A and B are shown apart, each in its own frame.
Chain A
Amino acid sequence: MIEFLKRLFGQQGSSATAKERLRLVLMTDHLELAPEMIEAMKRDLVELISRYVEVDRERIEVNFERQDRTLAMLANIPILGVNRPNGNGAVTHEAPKPQPEPVATVAAPPSDSKPPVRKRKRRKKSQRARTQLPSTA
Chain B
Amino acid sequence: MPESDEAKRGRAIVVTSGKGGVGKTTTTANLGTALARRGARVALIDADVGLRNLDIVLGLESRVRHHLLDVLEERSSLDDALVADKHTDGLFLLAAAQAREKDDVETTKMQALVSSLRERFDYVLIDSPAGIELGFKNAVAGASEAIVVCTPEVAAVRDVDRVVGLLGNRFRPQLIINRLRPQLVRKGKMLSVDDVNGILRLPLLGVIADEPEIIVTTNRGEPLALRTQNTTGAAYHAIAARVAGEDVAAPVPPESKASILERIGSLFGGLRR
Contacts and interface: CB of A to CB of B under 8 A. Distances in A.
Interface in A20-51: 21-23, 25-26, 29, 33
Interface stretch (B61-69, B108-116, B263-271): B263-271
A16 interface: yes
B157 A10 contact: no
Nearest to B271: A7
Interface residues of A, number: 18
B157 A22 contact: yes
A18 to B, nearest CB: 5
A19 interface: yes
Interface stretch (B76-84, B96-104, B181-189): B181-189
Interface string B170-193: 000000000000001111111110
A15 B184 CA distance: 9
A13 interface: yes
B273 A14 contact: yes
Contacts of B153: 18
Contacts of B186: 10
Given A14-B273, A15-B191, A25-B154, A7 B266 contact: yes
Interface stretch (B1-9, B158-166, B233-241): B158-166
Nearest to A9: B263
A22 B152 CA distance: 11
B263 A21 contact: no
A interface, over-half SS: helix
A1 interface: no
Contact of B161 (A7, A11, A19, A29): A29
B73 interface: no
B182 to A, nearest CB: 12
Nearest to B268: A7
Contact of A15 (B165, B192, B258, B270): B192
Given A25-B158, A33-B165, A10 B199 contact: no
Contacts of A8: 263, 267
Interface in B251-269: 258, 263, 266-267
Contacts of B188: 10-16
Contacts of B266: 7, 10, 13
A19 B165 contact: no
B195 A15 contact: yes
A112 to B, nearest CB: 12
A32 to B, nearest CB: 10
Given A19-B195, A23-B199, A29-B158, A10 B263 contact: yes
A22 B154 contact: yes
Given A13-B189, A15-B189, A25-B158, 17 more contacts: A7-B267, A7-B270, A8-B267, A10-B186, A10-B187, A10-B188, A10-B266, A12-B273, A13-B266, A14-B188, A15-B184, A15-B190, A19-B191, A19-B195, A26-B161, A29-B161, A29-B162
A-B pairs with the 3 shortest C-beta distances? Answer: A13-B188, A7-B270, A13-B189
